[in-house]
Amino acid sequence: SSELTQDPAVSVALGQTVRITCQGDILRKYYASWYQQKPGQAPVLVIYGKNNRPSGIPDRFSGSSSGNTASLTITGAQAEDEADYYCNSRDTNSNRYVFGTGTKVTVL
């Protein structure tokens, strides 16, 4: 089955910008959605489709895609953005979904 690869961890200074990437061949055909998960909590959808934010998600979160890579950018990171982030997309050749390996974001 297909895979989505993310960097295990990234850090960002408070107020600065961080980009989290997700790589996989399936992203050449389908958009990724992005989820934020804080310790002990359920995931929360932050970006879906081309670059759509659900109601209540701050506009410092944005998404983009190019080739086999999808990116989630946090512009002006806040302390409350410290969390694990996962990408997700449907598989190209089957009616299944795949999650990325996850990225732990630390806000310094």
Partner 1 sequence: QVQLVESGGGVVQPERSLRLSCAASGFSFSSYGMHWVRQAPGKGLEWVAVISYDGSNRYFGDSVKGRFTISRDNSKNTLYLQMNSLRPEDTAVYYCAAGEWFDSSGYSYWGQGTLVTVSS
Least Å distance, CB 64 to partner 1, is: 14
Instruction: Tell me: does residue 30 bind partner 1 (CB under 8 A).
Output: yes
How many residues lie near partner 1 (CB under 8 A)? 28
Which segment (11-19, 73-81, 99-107) binds partner 1 by CB under 8 A?
A: 99-107
Q: Applying CB under 8 A, which part among 12-20, 75-83, 98-106 lies near partner 1?
A: 98-106
89 binds partner 1 (CB under 8 A): yes
The set of residues, in sequence order, having a beta carbon less than 8 Å from that of 62 and lying 6+ positions away, is 47, 51, 53, 72, 73, 75
Considering the rule CB under 8 A, would residue 98 count as an interface residue with partner 1?
A: yes
Instruction: Find the shortest distance in angstroms from Cβ 66 to partner 1.
Output: 16
Quick one: CA dihedral 13, 41, 4, 74, positive or negative? negative
Contact residues: partner 1, CB under 8 A: 1, 30-31, 33, 35, 37, 42-45, 47-49, 54, 84, 86, 88-90, 94-102
